């Protein structure tokens, strides 16, 4: 009886670009990917003792990416951990597309939702992965994560260049611009007069005039806020206690000791109606939601 070695006990070894080897049953890999299946139709080498040399498949992917793929194909559990889980996730998304691995793509979609908080620690790679996979239900959420970081920082330069197409970079730039415009509108319409009072000195809600030094502190705080919102236009950092406790945000009225700037409600507490307007009312995502509906059909 003949024994079909190619069908019955075939192992294949995937070789990462750093030469790390991942042996796995050929059948599992062929079932997971038509591209790998085609690759493995090639004639095999048999040595003098009639042993099949294990097939080596050299790939461009790194060891971290192949490790994820091999675990998936062989049914092992996959933890979202390691040195750079989001970059790994991104690279697996790219590979799943390249090798036509539909099952893996479905798994990644669920994995993305389950591990969102971990994956969002690298917003650029997460955004790139979501767009690459074309998971529309995550488009807005992933875009929003990118608004939390300053994309101009040097540590993001490599990811921006390597992971994002020029179209995606432009898209992020537009959405950041819209978000910043919202804040500029808020600050310009509510705050500029504080530094240059026209005819009367601004007063606290208690009636006490604001002294020059305090006025300066308030202006400084607002300038800092503007700069920070420009870099990280989601503005979520405003709610952190550390941010609110910075000296310049603690300018107080000498008479009634209330803080002039209340970042927890995003309000400037002085008596003129335009200053006293609660910035929180203007703060929501309305401009971005509008953009979101226009681009993605809304959520
Ligand atoms: Zn007062």
pLDDT digits (tens, 9 = 90+) for 220-260: 787 788 788 889 988 778 777 888 888 878 888 888 887 77
131 falls in which pLDDT band (50, 70, 90)? Answer: very high
* Of residues 226, 223, 268, the one with CA closest to residue 248: 223
Cα 219 to ligand 1 centroid, rounded to whole Å = 17
273 falls in which pLDDT band (50, 70, 90)? Answer: very low
Tokens at residue 227, please? 């700069």
Average pLDDT over the chain, rounded to whole? 79
Please give all residues whose CB falls under 5 A of ion ligand 1, grouped by chain where several chains appear.
Answer: 204, 206, 208, 253, 255-256
pLDDT at residue 113 above 50? yes
Distance from chain centroid for Cα 114:
15
Q: Exposure of 2 by Cβ count < 10 A (0-12 exposed, 13-18 middle, 19+ buried)?
A: exposed
- Alpha helix ranges (H) inside 115-165: 116-119, 123-133, 139-146, 157-163
* Of residues 32, 163, 6, the one with CA closest to residue 96: 32
Cα 131 to ligand 1 centroid, rounded to whole Å = 51
Say whether 25 sits in a helix, a strand or coil: strand
Question: What pLDDT is recorded for position 170?
Answer: 92
How far apart (Å, rounded) are the C-alpha atoms in residues 138 and 130? 7
Say whether 23 sits in a helix, a strand or coil: strand
Say whether 208 sits in a helix, a strand or coil: coil
Cα 235 to ligand 1 centroid, rounded to whole Å = 28
Cα 257 to ligand 1 centroid, rounded to whole Å = 6
How far apart (Å, rounded) are the C-alpha atoms in residues 14 and 37? 13
Burial readout 122-131 (b: 16 or more C-beta within 10 A, e: otherwise): bbbbbbbbbb
CA distances from 62 to 56, 92, 183 (A): 15, 10, 42
Cα 188 to ligand 1 centroid, rounded to whole Å = 24
Cα 252 to ligand 1 centroid, rounded to whole Å = 8
Q: Where in the chain is the domain with CATH 3.30.710.10?
A: 5-170
* Of residues 186, 177, 181, the one with CA closest to residue 282: 186
184-208 pLDDT, tens digit each: 666 655 543 443 445 566 677 777 8
Cα 205 to ligand 1 centroid, rounded to whole Å = 6
* Of residues 262, 177, 255, the one with CA closest to residue 221: 262
58-71 pLDDT, tens digit each: 999 999 999 999 99
Mean pLDDT value across residues 142-164: 94
Question: What pLDDT is recorded for position 197?
Answer: 46
Cα 197 to ligand 1 centroid, rounded to whole Å = 18
CA distances from 8 to 4, 5, 204 (A): 6, 5, 84
Does residue 96 contact residue 36 with C-beta atoms inside 8 Å?
no
Greatest Cα-to-Cα distance within the chain, rounded to the nearest angstrom: 105
Identify any residues that bridge with 12 across adjacent strands, giving them in sequence order: 24, 55
Superfamily the domain 5-170 falls into: Potassium Channel Kv1.1; Chain A (3.30.710.10)
């Amino acid at each position: 009886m003949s024994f079909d070695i190619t069908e019955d006990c075939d192992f294949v070894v995937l070789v990462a670009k750093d030469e790390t080897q991942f042996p796995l049953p050929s059948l599992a890999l062929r079932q997971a990917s038509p591209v790998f299946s085609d690759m493995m139709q090639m004639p095999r080498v048999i040595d003098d003792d009639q042993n099949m040399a294990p097939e080596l498949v050299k790939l461009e992917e790194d060891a971290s990416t192949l490790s994820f793929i091999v675990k998936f194909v062989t049914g092992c559990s996959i933890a979202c951990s390691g040195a750079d889980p989001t970059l790994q996730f991104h690279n697996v998304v790219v590979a799943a597309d390249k090798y036509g691995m539909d099952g893996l793509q479905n798994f990644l979609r669920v994995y993305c939702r389950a591990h969102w908080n971990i994956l969002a620690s690298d917003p650029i790679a997460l955004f790139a992965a979501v767009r690459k996979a074309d998971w529309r239900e995550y488009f807005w959420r992933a875009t929003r994560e990118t608004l939390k970081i300053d994309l101009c920082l040097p540590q993001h330069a490599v990811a921006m260049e390597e992971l994002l197409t020029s179209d995606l970079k432009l898209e992020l730039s537009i959405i950041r611009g819209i978000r910043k415009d919202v804040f500029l509108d808020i600050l310009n319409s509510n705050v500029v007069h504080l530094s240059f009072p026209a005819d009367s000195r601004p007063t606290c809600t208690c009636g006490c005039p604001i002294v020059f030094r305090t006025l300066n502190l308030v202006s400084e705080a607002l300038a800092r806020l503007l700069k920070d919102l420009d870099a990280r236009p989601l503005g979520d950092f405003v709610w952190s206690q550390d941010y609110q406790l910075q000296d310049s945000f603690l300018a107080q009225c000498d008479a009634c000791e209330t803080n002039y700037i209340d970042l927890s409600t995003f309000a400037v507490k002085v008596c003129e109606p335009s200053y006293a307007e609660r910035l929180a009312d203007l703060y929501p995502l309305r401009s971005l939601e509008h953009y979101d509906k226009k681009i993605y059909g809304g959520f």
